[in-house]
Amino acid sequence: MAKNDQQSFPDIAANAVLLVDVINDLEFEGGKAILEHALPMAERLAALKAKAREAAVPIIYLNDNFGQWRSDFRAVVEQNVNGDVRGQPIAQRLQPESEDYFVLKPKHSGFFGTTLETLLRFLQTRRLVIGGLTTDMCVHFTAMDAYLRDYKVHIPCDGSAASSPAIHEQAIRYMARQLKADTAPVSDVDFP
């Protein structure tokens, strides 16, 4: 992949990893239940990030702005990595690196009202590996919008989390069936 001296990203990337709402304080009703399932997910997503980085695959963080229209992703990261919040261990494990991208999203889907589609078009990306929080909401809506835009979608069955295993499994089965998503686990993800 050719790199321009003024940019830290590849000119073309057939694959991209989307990390949905992993920088999250989890300070809301149900956050404790999500944390229990998200901790093992974070370890697997950290391994996925390392594999993607080795293959020069861009990593894009898609994060809620939590209704803060003057929000700043770096401030959100700082608050979650160094603050006394429930989601701190996940944010610490998955904190972005300088070459990673970030897109703040106002709603559930990473595509709705954001620059994600423009970025992916610039990178000429065709396949998205999507993980994060929560399987049945933001991961699901982002995957749905990716499918509607004709992206090949891979949602590793162990790369996202929900408030319960039953809800998680139901969402994974739905996305495999309806979105034709590859749901092989993180360990099986490859970047050809």
- For 89-141, the pLDDT digits (tens) are 999 999 999 999 999 999 999 999 999 999 999 999 999 999 999 999 999 99
Say yes or no to pLDDT of 23 above 90.
Answer: yes
Q: Is residue 10 part of a domain?
A: no
Q: Using 50, 70 and 90 to split pLDDT, how confident is the model at 64?
A: confident
* 126 within 8 A of 13, measured Cβ to Cβ: no
Q: In CATH, what number is assigned to the domain containing residue 136? A: 3.40.50.850
Mean pLDDT of 159-180: 98
**Which ranges constitute the DSSP H helices of the chain?**
31-54, 73-82, 88-93, 116-123, 138-148, 165-178
Report how many domains make up the chain: 1
Q: Is residue 154 part of a domain?
A: yes
- Residue-level pLDDT at 1: 38
Q: Using 50, 70 and 90 to split pLDDT, how confident is the model at 72?
A: confident
Q: Is residue 80 part of a domain?
A: yes
SS3 content of the chain, % helix, strand, coil (to 5): 40, 15, 45
Residue 43 in tokens: 């370890």
Q: Which domain holds residue 103?
A: 15-188
Lookup result for tokens 């996925």: 48
- The rounded distance, in Å, linking the Cα atoms of 152 and 17 is 12
